[in-house]
Amino acid sequence: MPALYFTENEYKSRLFATKQEMQRSGFDTLILSDPANIFYLTGFDAWSFYAPLFIVVSCDLDEPIWIGRFQDAVSARDTTYLKEENICAYPDHYVQSSTCHPAEPASHILRERGLDRGVIAVEMGAYYYTARIHAEFVRYNPNARFADGELLVNRVRLIKSDAEQAYMRQAGRIADAAIAAAIDRCAPGVRECDVVAGIYKTQISGTPEYGGVYTTSPPHFCAGERVRTPHGLWTDQPLQNNSALNIEIAGSRLHYHCPISRTVYLGLPPDSYIRLADAVVEGLNTTMDHIKPGMTAEEVELVWRRSIAKHGFEKEARLGYSIGIGFPPTWGERTASLRPGDKTVLQPGMAFHCMSGLWLDSTGIAITQSFLVTKEGNEPLTQYDRSLAAKT
């Protein structure tokens, strides 16, 4: 029996919503290669996307068709609700070959099922839909017209079901535990890698009730000079006194992510740094006070923008992004962004990471908050104190 994380009915309603969007867009067939979309529609959960991996959704078929490397087909049987006839594997010699490509057997399956004509939509900009895959699909399906269906399923994912929201709250508890483990461990003389080791341990051990799984990205752990960088890597050098460090991590419960960032100051922070922290925390708190359904994504950003402007700051990078299911390399859903121009209307069940951080010429700070949009306003997904963590 496969171990499904949701009821079959929930998967059915996701598929139904996807087909509705396909019909609205005039797509007959949709080939998905984003691992998060594959997971969302079928439950498929194994590390298989290093080789071409697809599901094919047809408006005319009851179930998606899984197409992947032969030795990973057993994972499709273990983790999805799909019938055996809809689990299609290609032989191993197609893997990383210079002479043949998995799009060939995949196109053969399309032809067999009568899906090689009409409009085939693909995810043009999805991470694992390479230029080569597309060229091969076009070559092997001369009777089809290709269209861009990128983000179609990502948009269906924007509003989380009750069951999804429950997983996101659990991810939040894991994130809280992991950031606490990190900050507790930080001290002058401790190697950066040893603090990060403790983060990983807590992310995966999770809580006594449930464990965590891998996050899409490693901890961003930026100490010393790297405090100016948002996505830097830890070193194996000891932490220094009188320095700031930024930590950005997430908890992941069955691939549902809840990110959190905090800045730690080792030693007594200088006044200038305290003022910086005050501006960011005030901006975050003010923003959180305002967030409610009916606002647009850009209106949320404007609240933050005005608040930090009072202190003389400006942030070029977007303030945040929609979160939910994540597979490497990002826990962002790649749909709504909290930034000027984004007219997405916030609705109950959406989730965001408010990335209230500033990276300046010589320093950086990040004190952030993930949240669900609720009927009344918003629900923070982590409880960790919103402040600069000074360790004196």
Compute the distance between CA of residue 370 and CA of residue 288 in angstroms, rounded to an integer.
10
| Residues near a copy of itself (CB under 8 A), total | 81
Among 285, 330, 363, 374, binds a copy of itself (CB under 8 A): 330
From the list 10, 78, 282, 379, which residue makes contact with a copy of itself (rule: CB under 8 A)? 78
Supply the minimum distance, in Å, between the C-beta of residue 392 and a copy of itself: 26
Whichever of 283 and 364 has its CB closer to a copy of itself, that residue is 364
Residues 156/34, Cβ–Cβ less than 8 Å: no
Which one of the spans 64-72, 80-88, 263-271, 378-386 is the region binding a copy of itself (CB under 8 A)?
64-72
The position carrying tokens 């089809």 is 144
Instruction: Answer yes or no whether residue 229 interacts with a copy of itself by CB under 8 A.
Output: yes
179 CB-near residues (< 8 Å, 6+ apart): 199, 247, 249, 260, 262, 382, 384
- Write each residue from 345 to 374 as x if it is in contact with a copy of itself (CB under 8 A), else as -, in one continuous string: --------------x---------------
Q: What is the dihedral of CA 250, 254, 43, 58, to 10 degrees?
A: -20
Per-position DSSP letters for 279-331, written without gaps between them: HHHHHHHHHHHH--TT-BHHHHHHHHHHHHHTTT----S-SEEEEEEEETTEE
Of 118, 198, 267, 377, the one binding a copy of itself (CB under 8 A) is 198
Site for a copy of itself in 30-49 (CB under 8 A): 45-49
Based on CB atoms, which residue is closest to a copy of itself, 236 or 376?
236
Q: How many CA atoms lie within 13 A of 201 on its CB side?
A: 10
CA 16 to CA 40: how far, in whole Å? 12
Q: Which of 109, 197, 274, 281 binds a copy of itself (CB under 8 A)?
A: 197
353 pairs with which residues across the strands? 321, 370
Report if residue 228 touches a copy of itself, rule: CB under 8 A.
yes
The reply to whether 132 sits near a copy of itself by the rule CB under 8 A is yes
* Nearest residue to 225 (alpha-carbon basis) of 235, 217, 216, 213: 235
Please say which residue, 233 or 268, places its beta carbon nearer to a copy of itself: 233
Non-local (6+) Cβ contacts of 381 within 8 A are 168, 169, 171, 172, 175, 258, 351, 369, 370, 371, 372
Q: Which stretch binds a copy of itself (CB under 8 A): 8-16, 147-155, 268-276, 372-380?
A: 147-155
Applying CB under 8 A, which of residues 20, 163, 210, 241 lies at the interface with a copy of itself? 210
Q: Is 27 near a copy of itself (CB under 8 A)?
A: no
Q: Report how far residue 260's alpha carbon sits from residue 244's, in angstroms, rounded to the nearest whole number.
A: 17
- Interaction residues for a copy of itself, span 92-131 (CB under 8 A): 92-93, 95-96, 98, 122, 124-131
**Contact flag: residue 334 with a copy of itself (CB under 8 A):** yes
Task: Tell me which residues in 230-269 interact with a copy of itself (CB under 8 A).
Answer: 230-236
